[in-house]
Amino acid sequence: MVLIPLLGYLIYERQDILFEAGQEATLTRLTPPAPTPPPIELRYAYEAALGVARGYAEDAQIISASTSWHDTNRETLLAGASAWSFVFYAPTDRQALDIVVDSGGASLVKATRVWEVPPLITRGAWHSELKEVVLVFLAYGGEEFLAAHPHAQTDLHLGPDSEGRTVWSIVAFDNKEKALCSVTIDAATRHVIEHQKLSAKQ
């Protein structure tokens, strides 16, 4: 019988310690990090974008494809891209169609009237395996550059160059340190056309 009042007294005293001067106890809420969107393989992204483009214009043809990464390293590049941007040309309507493919699917973002026929790329002029292109970039200075610039942004673009060749252009750049590494690759042969590294420290 003596233990019960004693226990109540101890609990009361403990509450005084925890809640002095009318203060309320608060619990720290931890916000879980946003999940990383899954990578989308280029060939699937292209087919999805083509379906949207052909739904808008049956004669739509691809002009370019592009994507980008932030805070890039070797692993993030090889893992793939979580979003793609495509541009198609519809000859009958003389319009350029901007289409985005991400985890939410493919959607037409903008249709723009154009007055001159833009350079086009054909399906047979490029391979859709992004990993092969990334490995070439890494071998030509990209891996070393990304290791030295962990907060670099990397942009990838597929489209015709000034000579009409369909090329992959990969550019990693660090705005803060004014440095970049770029590699241009022939999309059909995988041969490196040009590569360069620039730095403000040079």
Global pTM reads: 0.78
Alpha-carbon gap, residue 92 to 99, rounded angstroms: 18
Ranking 31-40, 105-114, 147-156 by mean pLDDT, the lowest is: 31-40
Given a cut of 60, whether residue 151 has pLDDT beyond it is yes
Ranking 5-19, 84-98, 111-125 by mean pLDDT, the lowest is: 5-19
Radius of gyration of the chain (CA): 27
Is 35 among the domain residues? no
pLDDT in tens, 95-113: 999 999 999 999 999 999 9
Measured at the alpha carbon of residue 41, what is the angle toward residues 92 and 86, in degrees to the nearest 5? 25
The domain tally of the chain equals: 1
Is 34 among the domain residues? no
Q: What is the DSSP string of 132-168?
A: HHHHHHIIIIIHHHHHH-TT-EEEEEEEE-TTS-EEE
Is 119 among the domain residues? yes
Is 195 among the domain residues? yes
Q: What pLDDT shows up at residue 201?
A: 66
Beta bridge partners of 100: 85, 107
- Can you tell me the mean pLDDT for 79-95? 93
Identity of the amino acid at 95: Q
Given a cut of 60, whether residue 12 has pLDDT beyond it is no
Is 23 among the domain residues? no
Alpha-carbon gap, residue 194 to 182, rounded angstroms: 8
Is 25 among the domain residues? no
Is 131 among the domain residues? yes
Is 18 among the domain residues? no
Name the average pLDDT for the chain.
83
Alpha-carbon gap, residue 52 to 83, rounded angstroms: 15
Q: What pLDDT shows up at residue 202?
A: 55
Identity of the amino acid at 92: T
Owning domain of residue 156: 42-199
